[in-house]
A and B are shown apart, each in its own frame.
Chain A
Amino acid sequence: KAGVTQTPRYLIKTRGQQVTLSCSPISGHRSVSWYQQTPGQGLQFLFEYFSETQRNKGNFPGRFSGRQFSNSRSEMNVSTLELGDSALYLCASSPTPGGDTGELFFGEGSRLTVL
């Protein structure tokens, strides 16, 4: 059974550009969550999607957005990139929606560098 797949694994952008990251969850999993990991702030929750609906959102500016498709694949977008957006972006999938006791499984992440 394939794990959570994130693409691209590495990317470099310049300030002001936008970026789109993709996440394919484990087959059969319908919940996808996104996290940002930085040396200073650690791991922080961005948002969670279930059945194409955003169910929960962390404390990030509106430049950070996401969506989920009918096949449960998810994308997140960051517009008007800032230097501080440089981070490892991790996606997690779970077989259950928010509030349940399901386990989360993480992908390898997409490392974004903003110059």
Chain B
Amino acid sequence: KQEVTQIPAALSVPEGENLVLNCSFTDSAIYNLQWFRQDPGKGLTSLLLIQSSQREQTSGRLNASLDKSSGRSTLYIAASQPGDSATYLCAAKAAGNKLTFGGGTRVLVKP
């Protein structure tokens, strides 16, 4: 059974600092790993999708890496801004289009 863990559960950084969010998963037999952002009371916004054959994916200030052998993914957000404050979730996709989510990391970027 796949288990996905995100540590820390919350972090607070000053504006401009780089953010590093961690995600670990127990079963390396995944199709892909997806990072999402969730604002309070809202749905999920897809940030990055890394296929199992890829090592990293980049979009603007966001960069995500994937190491299947160690069961880890990391999301980097460069030069954080107050608008980056949200909960970030990672999800590992297995057969059957089923996503297993981590518990999320709640990020606060202080001006």
Q: Which A positions have Cβ atoms within 8 angstroms of B?
A: 4, 6, 31, 33, 35, 42-45, 48, 50, 55-56, 58, 88, 90, 92, 94, 96-109, 111
* A81 CA / B99 CA spacing, docked (Å): 25
Whether the pair A104, B31 counts as a contact (CB closer than 8 A) is no
Q: B39: shortest Cβ distance to chain A, in Å? A: 10
B residues near A44, Cβ cutoff 8 Å: 101
A residues near B91, Cβ cutoff 8 Å: 43
* Partner pick for A100 among B31, B45, B89, B104, CB 8 A cutoff: B31
Grouping DSSP codes into helix (H, G, I), strand (E, B) and loop, the B interface class, with mixed when no group exceeds half, is: strand
B residues near A107, Cβ cutoff 8 Å: 43
Whether the pair B96, A104 counts as a contact (CB closer than 8 A) is no
Whether the pair A103, B46 counts as a contact (CB closer than 8 A) is yes
Q: A56-B96, A58-B98, A101-B31 are in contact. Are A42 and B103 (CB under 8 A)?
A: yes
Residue pairs across A and B with CB atoms within 8 Å: the count is 75
Chain B, 81-110, CB within 8 A of any chain A CB: 89, 91, 93, 95-104
Q: How many residues on the B side are at the interface (Cβ–Cβ under 8 A)?
A: 26
* A107 CA / B89 CA spacing, docked (Å): 15
Residue from B32, B34, B97 whose CB has the most chain A CB atoms within 10 Å: B97
* A49 CA / B101 CA spacing, docked (Å): 19
* A13 CA / B67 CA spacing, docked (Å): 44
B residues near A55, Cβ cutoff 8 Å: 96-97
A residues near B43, Cβ cutoff 8 Å: 4, 6, 90, 106-109
Whether the pair A105, B96 counts as a contact (CB closer than 8 A) is no
